[in-house]
Structure 1
Amino acid sequence: MGVYLIRVPDIGEGIAETEIAEWLVAPGDLVAEDQPVAAVMTDKATVEIPAPVAGRVIACAAAPGTVLAVGAELMRLEVEGAGNADATPPATRPEAPPAPAPASAAAPARPEPPPPSRPAAAQPSAAPAQPCAIPDRPLAAPSVRALARERGLDLRQITGTGPGGRILRTDVESFEPAAARGGRRRNLSVEEIPVIGLRRKISDRMQAATAVPHITIVEEVEVSALETLRARLNARAAARPGAARLTLLPFLARAIVCAVADQPGLNAHHLTDATQGPARLRRFGAVHLGIATQTPSGLVVPVLRHAEALGLGETAAEIARLAEAARGGTATREELSGSTITITSLGALGAIATTPILNLPEVAIIGVNRIAQRPFWTGTGFEPRPMMNLSCSFDHRVVDGWDGAVFVQRLRELLETPALLFAEV
């Protein structure tokens, strides 16, 4: 028998380090070749790491939430044959004995620490076998956890039938919670949940955004003409198999494309990297529209690329595809990065007004609130009309209030007179 070291692979796209989001196996488990053993986070994408060989899990590198560099030790397997431990360079081999020295005679026996020049995150773990999961945290894949959250189930109450007690999708689907007990009782339970994985990425980005001065402008939009047009187009699409249903988002995407053509400074990134000189504004000709999407794991922003080149139906179909991929956890890193301006919407739950937070380094975000029937003054009297508020936030370092107001008024004009969305003049 030998020891096989699994190291953090190079995921590409210049990723230098990843965060352990979840262990999918535990010490003592038998794993097959290509079986996922860990889920790691890169930006907002979760990637499952497969075992390159079959074996038995001996140890894991660290607890979930730990950041490891590419090339760092991830897991040890006991395998048939010699394994690959002997092929590991001595400077990084965890089982290499420390160099003899008189001063170390009284010190506890442990591996030689790596040279100071090695990055701290890249140091391989030399600790004894550790559990691959947080105590009391059941073993389950991210998609299974998402399904349990959707159904309001506690995984700790479900018995897993997979290897090592791992909870499978079928376990969640077949679980029936016990009937609630009658009577009211005090609940003294306290639960501490580590903020790791996607939740930590969101937390870090929101924390960074609070350092940017925001200005938010809220404007009311009368959308009766837009809703009439949308209903007629959907009625026509219903007669064509495979045609995408039009929500409000494709029209908003088109309106944003038209509005930033007049104000290209809002389709931009504000860059403040001190190593590259003074702050600068990077303006984009392409409109890569971020669509903020709520998923069982948290908020992610899949990107509608080149919205300026897509028709209404194409936009609707691509938004639907991206949303499905994001909610299913299958969106790629490329589909979750590179946006130049963002739309955020709470859908039917949307309030009267919101205060969107910028998706840095972008300088503008468009918040969409729910449509509701409200009194509308026609000049001679009040009529009930479908009304919607737009809540748009801007980076006040580079977008003045006047420029933000001009942008919002242009969006209002386009949405209240939707024929302008398709005008060539």
Structure 2
Amino acid sequence: MKNTTSTIRPAMIRKAAAEETLELPVSLRTDTTDEFATESTTLHTASKPRAELDRLANRDLAKVLELGQKTFGEPVIPFTLDWVGEFLLGQNSRGPIARGLPTQPPVRYIDAESHRQGMVFGMREYQITLRTGDCRVINLIQQTSQKCPSFTRDVWLVAERQFLALYYKLRRLEKARSQVVAPLMQDSLRERLWKNTIGVLTRNAASMKALGVAIRRGMLLRGEPGNGKTMAARWLKYEAEKRRLAWKSISIAHFRAAQHRCEVGELLSLGSPGIIFFDDFDELIRRREENHNSTDICTLLNELDGIDRRYGTVFLFASNLQWNEIDHALRRPGRIDLMIEFTKPNVELRRQLMEIHWSEILRRQIDIPLAVSQTEGMSFAELEELKTLLAMQHFDEEEIDWNRALAEFQSRRTETAKKPIGFGAT
């Protein structure tokens, strides 16, 4: 059956509003019982004709419009949000504040077993700043059932005069969200990373070619997992593609398959200047005395040493190995020319992460200096996990308890460290 909401038009809403005295929809009442499950609320849609469904949908929506006008004091626009839009609104607004309807208080719930509480009936109010000024956005929250359904159970309301400004605000936020920000690392290291990758392939390309110098660099991003290597590679990929430089990511599986087909040379070829990223190659680039795969590393080295095919290429390796654990032949200049170390974030980087990259909702509810001091020794990945715990608290309870989230994180880390790994684990 076709969704009846899509058939609702403003003229139909105005007509429905003019023909009857508007009341709070039955599906929005807290005193709804089986006795109230009349023809206007019982939704056995398969047996109802299309005209009847349209009438019920318009009735519900017309009443919601009047409810919105009473709340805002001006005409409103009802709309729906997908999860991305709801996430962006929540990340960039003040709220939500739980409110009741004009004549009824909010109805909340308590789940003692899972230590959660929330709202099942009422309104969630957000305040977001637009170019036209502060904007109030309301989300109607209500339970539904088979006997008490609603065509408006997930409706958002905003003042009619601010709807387009809100729309363009969310569009800008989504566009900014799709961009990749520079990795959090020391400025001097980020500059070296840039100059030896994007810089080599753009600013210096013409002059180096005129001097007869091959534009070819080998870079190693080294460090323990979770400290920003992948973040740096993702940033370089974004910047390379923005400048129309080629980018290719190669895994061990890709290399093995190409080796089996005798096509490693083609795998390491680019049609234009760009970057080849070797992701998780530790198994292959480890010292031959330890991995017993001398054929693999020899094949890789022979292809890296190609001349014509490799002109205008930066080879970028990411590894968790120590420098002395990498095969000595790969460490020679001309293969790996520069290594950048990714360590756990220091005080300044942790402060930048929380002040710049954490949402305003989280920042308002935690003591940033205290949080920075209490996260000494954490990696970026661990800080991300801690942020997730805080966000879950906010969504479940509409408030944040930093000490409880930190204790839960430390408890999880302790349990993970103690848990046996392997076939003997129970």
Scaled to the shorter chain, the TM-score interval is under 0.3
What TM-score do you get using the length of structure 1 for normalisation? 0.19
Q: Which structure has the larger Rg?
A: 2
More strand by share: 1
